[in-house]
Chains A and B, each alone.
Chain A
Amino acid sequence: MNLLDRFFGRQPKNTAVEAKDRLKILLAHERVTTNAPDFLPMMKQEILEVIRKYIAVDKDQVKVHMQRQQGVSVLELEVELPQGQGPAGKSASLSLA
């Protein structure tokens, strides 16, 4: 901001902060979808089949997520068990180095 701007009280907006915030939200979403390994859908299907062998669960009751953090990838597996087959909303997760 130069002196004339300052004299007339024109304050520039800090747009860089908005850029950073938008990027953080966008990339948190995109990293989950676009960076998922190719084998993820197949693995999800196989995991689902194994669980179905023992418990009657719906396709959408099993959620598989892969997240990249600094230095590690985290594979998150969430299985919603139906009533009477164990505590509801039970979930398990494992980490891949």
Chain B
Amino acid sequence: MSKVIVVTSGKGGVGKTTSAAAIATGLAMRGHKTVVIDFDVGLRNLDLIMGCERRVVFDFINVINDGVRLNQALIKDKRVENLSILPTSQTKDKEALKQEGVQKVLDELKGEFDYIICDSPAGIERGAMMSLYFADEAIIVTNPEVSSVRDSDRILGILNSKSRRAELGLDAVKQHLLVTRYDAERVTKGEMLKLDDIVEILAIPVLGVIPQCSSVLSASNVGMPVILDEKSKASDAYKDAVSRLLGEEVDLRFLLPEKKSFFERLFRRSA
């Protein structure tokens, strides 16, 4: 039974695409056939984060509207077995993402893949609504910051009222909180919302906490999902999140600052 999982947030720039790429890659590394779809029509970026931008010939919108076969648009990842990417189009046509078309593509993908990860655009426009409409589960990407938490709350409300599951009166979309850009040091100083605060406000279970980590930018520079950077803390944190998504119990990490030497403490300037 394949699962459709949307990675969403409301607010832009919180790490949706980074997280969608990392989690899809993580699921594939664990042996599950996984496809990750870009729903950000007109502003595609998943291809760049996945490092397959030069291999895009046909896209999601061509499959929906132009009779292109799904297999012509799907790009097989060269590093990880079981992983495919479905890029979106750069068209400005907002109506290109038709609900029946999306449903048809998802139904076809369900025949081939265990996990279908939908990378939502920011906002609550058509692309975002389409990406969450068919979801069985939702990963809400949130930064420890007031506007991000507020927008996540709004998206949770939309999942509970506007998704297919809500409209048909089925079991609710299963919601997971993924906190990204978590700076344990600033949290300790009282400069940043702590995980418990965010959980108390949004009232959904935690899938993972991704620490603020320079490896995320480095990985995007070279078109590699950060989970493949073996030495990075963000990679470890995403691997933990993938395990929890698969139902395993894993303790949370990276909630406390790393111990610093005396000289580092003396001379470090605050960010």
Which A residues fall within an 8 A CB radius of B?
1-5, 12-17, 19-20, 22-24, 26-27, 30-31, 34-35, 37-38, 68, 70
Whether the pair A4, B266 counts as a contact (CB closer than 8 A) is: yes
Q: Can you add 14 more A-B contacts, CB < 8 Å, to A16-B190, A20-B201?
A: A1-B270, A2-B265, A2-B269, A3-B266, A5-B270, A12-B191, A19-B145, A20-B197, A23-B150, A27-B150, A27-B153, A30-B150, A68-B157, A70-B203
What are 19 of the A-B contact pairs (CB < 8 Å)? A2-B266, A2-B270, A3-B266, A5-B270, A12-B191, A14-B191, A16-B194, A16-B197, A17-B190, A19-B193, A20-B200, A27-B150, A27-B153, A30-B153, A34-B154, A35-B157, A35-B161, A37-B161, A68-B160
**Interface check B268, CB cutoff 8 A:** yes
Q: What class of interface size applies to chain B in its complex with A?
A: 20 to 34
Whether the pair B265, A22 counts as a contact (CB closer than 8 A) is: no
Chain B residues with Cβ below 8 Å from A23 are 146, 149-150, 201
B207-252 interface (Cβ within 8 A of A): none
Q: From residue A20, how far is it (CB to closest CB) to chain B in Å?
A: 5
Q: A23-B146, A30-B154, A68-B160 are in contact. Are A12 and B190 (CB under 8 A)?
A: yes
A1 to B145, CA, bound (A): 20
Pick from B150, B161, B189: contact of A26, CB under 8 Å = B150
Q: From residue B162, how far is it (CB to closest CB) to chain A in Å?
A: 9
Say whether chain A's binding surface is mostly helix, strand, loop, or mixed. helix
Whether the pair B192, A16 counts as a contact (CB closer than 8 A) is: yes
Whether the pair A35, B201 counts as a contact (CB closer than 8 A) is: no
| Max chain B C-beta neighbours (<10 A), residue from A23, A24, A37 | A23
Whether the pair B153, A31 counts as a contact (CB closer than 8 A) is: yes
A26 to B147, CA, bound (A): 11
Chain B residues with Cβ below 8 Å from A34 are 154, 157
Q: From residue A65, how far is it (CB to closest CB) to chain B in Å?
A: 15
Pick from A5, A16, A30, A31: contact of B187, CB under 8 Å = A16
Pick from A3, A5, A35, A70: contact of B160, CB under 8 Å = A35
A15 to B187, CA, bound (A): 10
A16 to B154, CA, bound (A): 21
Whether the pair A2, B268 counts as a contact (CB closer than 8 A) is: yes
| Closest 9 pairs between A and B when the two form their complex, measured CB to CB | A14-B190, A35-B157, A20-B197, A16-B190, A3-B266, A19-B146, A16-B193, A70-B203, A27-B153
Give 1 or 0 for each of B138-172: 1 = CB within 8 Å of chain A CB: 00000001100110011001001100000000000
Which A residue sits closest to B153, measured CB to CB? A27
Which A residue sits closest to B203, measured CB to CB? A70
Which A residue sits closest to B204, measured CB to CB? A70
Chain A residues with Cβ below 8 Å from B154 are 30, 34
Chain B residues with Cβ below 8 Å from A14 are 190-191
Q: From residue B232, how far is it (CB to closest CB) to chain A in Å?
A: 26
Pick from B153, B191, B269, B270: contact of A16, CB under 8 Å = B191
Q: From residue A15, how far is it (CB to closest CB) to chain B in Å?
A: 6
